[in-house]
Structure 1
Amino acid sequence: MSFNALSKKINMDTVRAIHKLDEATLAKKVARDAELEKIIKGEDQRILLIIGPCSADNEDAVLEYTHRLADLQKEVVDKVFLVPRVYTNKPRTNGDGYKGMLHQPSPTGEVNLISGIVNVRKLHKRVITETGLTTADEMLYPENLEFVEDLLSYIAVGARSVEDQQHRFVASGINQPTGMKNPTSGNLSVLFNSLHAAQQKQEFIYNGAEVESSSNLLAHVILRGGLNDHNENVPNYHYEDLLKVVSTYEKGNYQNPFVVVDTNHDNSGKQYMEQIRIVKETLANRQYHPALKKVVRGFMIESYLEDGRQNPGETVFGKSITDPCLGWEKTAELVRYVAANA
C-alpha cells in the first residue's frame, strides 16, 4: 500500500474544539433535536422538510438562504419543521468533479482537507448560531463523521453508500435521525436490509478501535427513485410505491416507521421543477390513505436562492454548481403549500 501523508495525524479533540457551540446555542440545538426526535417517532405530526442546496458551495450564499429559511420557519412552525441541507461532501460517480467544501473550501480553489474541516465546522456553526435552525449533512465518508457530528441534527446515507457495510454499521451508532436512501437500483430489499442493520447493535472496527454501537432507532428510509437496466428513471414516490414501503415497514420488525420522499434525483430525473409536482402528488396521496398520512411525513427538497444550476465559469450568487435546484420564490411558495395541505 502506498499513501503519502499530507498532514500529521488529526486529533479529534482539537477538531471538536474548533467552532464549538457555546452553552446557550447548544441548549437551543438540544431543544430542536428533541422536537425532531418526536417527529420521527410520530409523537409530533408535523411535516419534516430537509431542504436546501444540492451542495453547500458558498458560505455567504448558504447563510443568506438559511436566514430566509429561518424567517419562513416562524411562519409555518405549527405544520412544518425545517432542517436546512448543508451538504459539505458530494459523491462523484467516477471520482471527478467538485467533491464539496470538505475537499475544496472554495469550488475554484485547491484541494485542502484540513482547511476544509475548519470551514465545514464554521459553516454549520454559523447557520445554527445566526439562524436558530439546525442542520443536515450527508455521511459520505464514515471515518469523517466525527469531524462534524456534534453540530448536526440530521444525517443522510446516500444511494451509493447504503449498500456498504461500514456505512450501515456506523449509522447504527449515530444518535441523530439518519435517513437511509434506497440504492440507485431502487431495490427495496436492499434498502430495508440497510435499515435493519442500522437499527441493531453492531460490533466492528471504527477509527482504529473495536466498538459496539448502540443501535439507531431513529434510522428511516428515504425514497429517491432509481435507474433500470436501460438507465431510465424509475420513480418510487407514487401511491402504489408508498403503500409497498409502508407494508414492508409493517411486516418487518422496524422501529419508528417514517418515510422521506426525495423529490429530486431519480424521482424527478433531476428536472428541478418536477419537485413541486412530486410534493403535491404525495400530499394528495397522504390525504387519501390514513396509513400514508401516518408514515409518509417528510420531504427532501433541493433548493437555493436561484433556479437551476450554473455552468462552469459562471459566478451567479446562490445558484447551484451541482444538481439544479428550486429558486427561493418557488421554494417559499412550496413550503407554504405544504403547511396548508399537511
Structure 2
Amino acid sequence: MQSEPQPLNSPEDLRAIRRVIREGGNPLTETDIPRWEDQVGVSRIVNRRVVELEPLPTPAKVLADMPLSEAAQNLVVSSRDAIRDVLHGRDDRLLVIVGPCSVHDPDAALDYAHRLAALRDELDGELLIVMRVYFEKPRTTVGWKGLINDPDIDGSHNIRKGLLLARRVLLGVLGQGVPAATEFLEPTSPQYIADAVSWGAIGARNTESQIHRQLASGLSMPIGFKNATDGSVKAAINGCYAAAQQHGFFGIDHLGRACVVETLGNPDCHVVLRGSSHGPNYDAASVAGAMDEARAEMPEGSAAACGLFVDCSHGNSGKDERRQAEVVREIAARLAAGERGIGGVMMESFIEGGSQPAGPLDTLVYGRSITDRCIAWPQTAELLRELAAAVAARR
C-alpha cells in the first residue's frame, strides 16, 4: 500500500490561517506560510480562493484500520438482497427507512439503533427495517453540512475527524444488528463508507445531477432517487434510467489516486416521492400516476417499474413531525385496504421529538434533531407497529 501523503503545513500553520480568516483577512496575502504550489513549483496563480488542501487518509487505509466484521458483512449482504426482493415484489414486506434527519451525536445514534434493533426483530415478519444514518446534509443556501463536514458543529470543518467518526457510527449500527441507509452527496465519501450501507438515496437537489447519476450507477446497493424540489417525478425516473446504464467518469480509487471509473449500471434504482414546494404527492392518485410514468419509461421488471417509496417527511408533511405521523397513518390505512405500488416508506425519527438549533454537542438536548423536526421514539414505535399490522391486513 502506498504511503499516506503528509500535510504541507503544521497544525500551528493551519491555526494561523484560520485565525486570519476569522478576523476577516486573506491568508493568501497576509501570511508567509508556505503553500503546496511553492513545494511543487507551480505558480500561485492557481487556487486563489483555496485556503488550504489538507490530505486525507486513503479509503484503503480507513477500511483496513476500521474493517467490517464478518457478521457486519453478512448483514450488509443479506439486507441488500432483502431490499432488492421487496423492490421487485418477491418479498411482500414493507421496507421502512427510519431514523434521525441527520446524525450529529454518535452516542445518541447508537442509542437509537439499540432501540430500533428490538423492534426490528419483533416486526421482521411484516417490515424490513433499515436505520436512516445520514452524515451529509445538502443546504438550500448555507448551514450545518453534517457530521462528516463539521463533526464538532462549530464551523471548524474537521473533515478527517468526521469521516472516521461516520464510519465508526456505521460499524456501531451494524453491530446492533441493524442495516443502514444514507444519502450520498459528495462523490468521494462513498469510498470511505459505502461498504457499510444497505440502501442509498440521491436527494431532491441532486436527482438531476449527472455526477450523482453516474455515482449511483456504480454503487453496490439499491438507490432511491427523490423527485426534484419542484415536484418533478420525471427527473427521478430519468435518474433511475441513467443510473441503470454503464458509465465512465472521473473519480478516485481506494488508494486515493485520480482514475477513470467504469461502471456496469445499477438496476435497483427506484423513485422516492417526497413532496415539493407545491405540496404533498403521497396520495393514491400521485402514487398511481408516478408508477404509470415509471412503467412507461423503465424496462419491464426493473425496480423502478415495480414500486416506489414514499418519504413521509419533507414536502409531504411540511417538515412538521405531527403531520408526518398523520401521513404514516394514512399510508398504513391504504396498505391495509390493499393498495399496491408502495414498496417502502421513510420516516424521520429520533429519541426526542422536534428539533433544536445547531450548536456544540455539550449545549444540546440529547437525542433531539438539529436539522429537520423528527417524530419522538415512543410514537415511532407505535407507528411501526401500525405499519406492520397494515401489511398483515394487506396479505
TM-score bracket, shorter-length normalisation: over 0.9
Q: 1:158 Cα deviation (Å)?
A: 0.4
* Contact residue 80 and residue 222 of structure 2 kept, 8 A: no
* Residues 1:326 and 2:375 aligned together: yes
* Contact residue 151 and residue 162 of structure 2 kept, 8 A: yes
Deviation track 1:231-275 (CA, whole Å, cap 9, x = no partner) reads: xxx211011101101111222234122211001111111111111
* Contact residue 351 and residue 376 of structure 2 kept, 8 A: yes
Q: 1:336 Cα deviation (Å)?
A: 0.2
* Alignment partner, residue 205 of structure 1: 250
Instruction: For residue 172 of structure 1, give the secondary structure of its aligned residue in structure 2.
Output: helix
Q: Distance in 1 between matches of 2:370 and 2:123?
A: 29
* Alignment partner, residue 348 of structure 2: 302
* Alignment partner, residue 255 of structure 2: none
Deviation track 1:264-310 (CA, whole Å, cap 9, x = no partner) reads: 11111111111122122223334556xx42x2120110000011012
Q: 1:188 Cα deviation (Å)?
A: 1.7
* Residues 1:27 and 2:27 aligned together: no
* Residues 1:53 and 2:103 aligned together: no
Q: Distance in 2 between matches of 1:78 and 1:179?
A: 23
* Alignment partner, residue 287 of structure 2: 242
Q: Distance in 2 between matches of 1:167 and 1:237?
A: 24
Q: Distance in 1 between matches of 2:387 and 2:245?
A: 33
Instruction: For residue 199 of structure 2, give the secondary structure of its aligned residue in structure 1.
Output: strand
* Alignment partner, residue 315 of structure 1: 364
**More deviation, 235-244/108-117:** 108-117
Instruction: For residue 50 of structure 1, give the secondary structure of its aligned residue in structure 2.
Output: strand
* Contact residue 18 and residue 118 of structure 1 kept, 8 A: no
Q: Distance in 1 between matches of 2:121 and 2:272?
A: 26
* Alignment partner, residue 40 of structure 1: 87
| RMSD of equivalent CA atoms | 1.6
Q: 1:173 Cα deviation (Å)?
A: 1.1
Q: Distance in 2 between matches of 1:312 and 1:152?
A: 26
Q: Distance in 2 between matches of 1:158 and 1:215?
A: 19
Task: Kindly provide the amino acid, as one letter, of the partner of residue 347 in structure 2.
Answer: I
Structure with bigger gyration radius: 2
Q: How many residues align?
A: 332
* Contact residue 102 and residue 146 of structure 2 kept, 8 A: yes
TM-score, normalization: structure 1? 0.92
**Residues 137-176 of structure 1 correspond to what in structure 2 (within 5 A)?**
137-176=182-221
Selected match of 2:172 from 108, 126, 137: 126
Q: 1:32 Cα deviation (Å)?
A: 2.4
Counting aligned pairs with the same residue, the percent is 35
Deviation track 1:319-342 (CA, whole Å, cap 9, x = no partner) reads: 111100000010000000000012
TM-score, normalization: structure 2? 0.80
**More deviation, 158-167/103-112:** 103-112
In structure 2, the gaps of 5 or more residues are 1-45, 253-257
List 4+ stretches of structure 1 deviating above 4 A: none
* Alignment partner, residue 266 of structure 2: 216
Task: Kindly provide the amino acid, as one letter, of the partner of residue 201 in structure 1.
Answer: Q
* Alignment partner, residue 13 of structure 2: none
* Alignment partner, residue 261 of structure 1: 310
* Contact residue 18 and residue 121 of structure 1 kept, 8 A: no
Q: Distance in 2 between matches of 1:62 and 1:77?
A: 21
Q: In the superposition, relative to structure 1, how do residues 337 and 286 fare at CA in structure 2: closer, same or farther (>3 Å)? A: closer
* Alignment partner, residue 185 of structure 1: 230
* Residues 1:107 and 2:157 aligned together: no
* Contact residue 207 and residue 236 of structure 2 kept, 8 A: yes
* Residues 1:63 and 2:110 aligned together: yes
Task: Kindly provide the amino acid, as one letter, of the partner of residue 326 in structure 2.
Answer: R
Q: Distance in 2 between matches of 1:41 and 1:192?
A: 16
